Each structure stands twice: as structure tokens, then as C-alpha cells.
Amino acid sequence: MSESLSTSNTSLATIPTSMSGSEKFLRFHLGYHVTALLPLQRSAEVLNIPREQILPIFFMPAWVMGVYNLRGEILWIVDLGHLVGLAPCYEQIASSSYTTIVLQSSSHTDVPVHTKNQTLGIIIGELEAIESCDPRQIQTSLLSSIPNGLHPFLQGYWLKSDNDRLAVLDADAIMAAMPKQNLNEGEMA
């Protein structure tokens, strides 16, 4: 089951995140050949951010695009495709703005301290829909056809009934990849 979703700045707080054994996930394209899912409960909102409003920060990994002013707070912006070893978004997206999912950190105790109570903007290719998936159907075996850089950020795969293979990403692993700084305040630790 999937629901279509508009990519205009959208708060996701009002969408129920689970229903009778299944959870909801944001479905999106990551590069040309990878369709991925992220848990809706970890996604605060979806934004269209104009390229010129992302302020580059020097001496950061190439996949860190910079920072964005989100209602007076600093939001670090990451090119998710570039992070996982795909082509950078500026080589794939011919647009004046980027579709960005705002991830929220987990409250789990095993999450690195520098990512607790933080948010992170991740640039994706194209947002498709909201999918309902039973987490027990997520297969953890790795497939050889995925980019090697995706493995550390992969929770598993979900095979839909129409033979559609969706990569289920681990939001904690994505947030933990950020250099150790305060993600909300933009200060280096």
C-alpha cells in the first residue's frame, strides 16, 4: 500500500506512523537505480530547498553540502546519494532546488552522543510516496547488485508483491556518519 506525497514543504507529524503490524516509510529515489525507504517516524518533514540557500562549509567531507537556516535553526545538509557512493546530486538533479528529508535522531541509548536530539537534512533524488511495510518482511541479506557504499547504511530490503526491491535505510547510521559536531548549532566539537 502506498500513498502519494507532495514535495512542497510538508510536515509529517500528522501522518500516523504505524497500523496493525506495519510501519510507514517514505519511498524515494536515490540516484537513478536505487529506490529506498526511510521510517516515517524518523522523518520530521520534507522540504524543497533552493540551492542558493545552502551555505557551504569548508573542510567538510564532499557529501556535506553545507547548512540551511530552518526557522532560525541551523540544519546541516547532506547529499545522501554522494554519501553512499553514488554520483553527487548536482550531477543528477537538474533543478534549482533540492528535495530534502529532515531526519530526527533516535532516542536509543546506543546512538552516538553527538547525534542525540539532533536533526539532519538529507538530499534525495525524488520523493515518491508513503509505503506501509511489515518490518518482519524486511530481509537483511545483502545483495551483490547494490553499491558498496550503501552497505553501512542499509537495514535490509523489502520485496514488494510486484517484485519491486526497496532498500530500507538505517537513519541512525546516516546520522552517525556526520563528522562530530553539534548538528543543530553548527559548532565543531
Nearest of 141, 189, 182 to residue 165 by alpha carbon: 141
Higher pLDDT, 16 or 55: 55
Q: Quick one: pLDDT at residue 32?
A: 75
Superfamily of domain 2-188: CheA-289, Domain 4 (2.40.50.180)
Contacts of residue 37, Cβ cutoff 8 Å, sequence gap at least 6: 25, 26, 27, 28, 131, 133, 158, 166, 167, 168, 169
Q: Degrees (nearest 5) of the Cα angle 187, 84, 42?
A: 65
Higher pLDDT, 93 or 71: 71
- Distance from the Cα of residue 20 to its chain's centroid: 25
CA distance 101 to 104: 10
- pLDDT digits 0-9 by tens, 39-77: 999 999 999 999 999 999 999 999 999 999 999 999 999
* In contact, 16 and 24? CB cutoff 8 Å: yes
Parse the chain into domains and list their residue ranges.
2-188
Q: What is the mean pLDDT of residues 86-91?
A: 87
Q: What is the mean pLDDT of residues 20-26?
A: 87
Q: Quick one: pLDDT at residue 95?
A: 82
Its pTM stands at 0.79
Nearest of 23, 26, 36, 29 to residue 133 by alpha carbon: 23
Nearest of 77, 111, 101 to residue 184 by alpha carbon: 77
